[in-house]
Amino acid sequence: MVTDAETGAVVGQIRYSAYGEERYTSGMTPTDYRYTGQLSRLAEIGLYHYGARWFDPEIAHFVQADTVVPDASNPATFDRFAYTRNNPIRYNDPMGHDVGCSAADPKCKSTNTISPPKITKPYIISRRNWGALVPGSKGGGEGLFNRESNPGGYAKYSDLYPSKSLSDVLDTVVFHHEGNQQTYDVAQVQKDEMEGGAYDIAYHYVVGADGSIYEGRDIGVRGAHVPDTNSGKIGILWLGDFEPGMAFESGLRLPFDINGNDPRPTTAQIEASVNLVSWLDQEYGIDSAYGHTELYRKSVCPGSNAMPFISIFRALVQEIR
User: How confident is the prediction along the chain (321 residues), in pLDDT tens digits per residue?
Assistant: 677 667 777 778 888 888 888 888 887 777 888 888 887 877 777 888 887 788 899 888 888 878 766 666 677 777 878 888 787 877 788 777 766 554 445 554 433 333 445 778 999 999 999 999 999 998 778 999 999 999 999 999 999 999 999 999 999 999 999 988 899 999 999 999 999 999 999 999 999 999 999 999 999 999 999 998 999 999 999 999 999 877 666 666 666 666 677 889 998 999 899 999 989 999 999 999 999 999 998 899 999 999 999 988 988 887 544
Q: Do residues 17 and 36 touch, judged by C-beta distance below 8 A?
A: no
pLDDT given for residue 109 in this prediction: 42
The sheet carrying 61-62 orders its strands as 39-41, 47-49, 54-56, 61-62
Residue extent(s) of CATH 3.40.80.10 domains in the chain: 127-319
pLDDT given for residue 320 in this prediction: 45
d(CA 212, CA 130): 11
pLDDT given for residue 73 in this prediction: 66
pLDDT given for residue 277 in this prediction: 94
pLDDT given for residue 315 in this prediction: 82
Quick check: helix, strand or coil at residue 176?
A: strand
Second CATH level (architecture) for the domain 127-319: 3-Layer(aba) Sandwich (3.40)
d(CA 70, CA 78): 9
Phi and psi angles of residue 94, each rounded to the nearest 5 degrees, phi first = -70, -20
Q: Do residues 193 and 201 touch, judged by C-beta distance below 8 A?
A: yes
pLDDT given for residue 250 in this prediction: 66
pLDDT given for residue 19 in this prediction: 86
Strand partners, 233: 172
DSSP letter for each residue of 227-241: TT--TTEEEEEESS-
Q: Do residues 251 and 182 touch, judged by C-beta distance below 8 A?
A: no
- Nearest by Cα to 316 from 173, 144, 109, 102: 173
pLDDT given for residue 269 in this prediction: 94
pLDDT given for residue 112 in this prediction: 34
d(CA 270, CA 175): 11
Q: Do residues 217 and 199 touch, judged by C-beta distance below 8 A?
A: no
The strand pair at 39-41 and 172-177 is best described as: unpaired
| CA 244 centroid distance within chain | 21
Amino acid, single-letter form, for residue 172: T
Q: Do residues 274 and 63 touch, judged by C-beta distance below 8 A?
A: yes
Between 267-284 and 310-319, two packed helices, what is the crossing angle to 10 degrees? 30
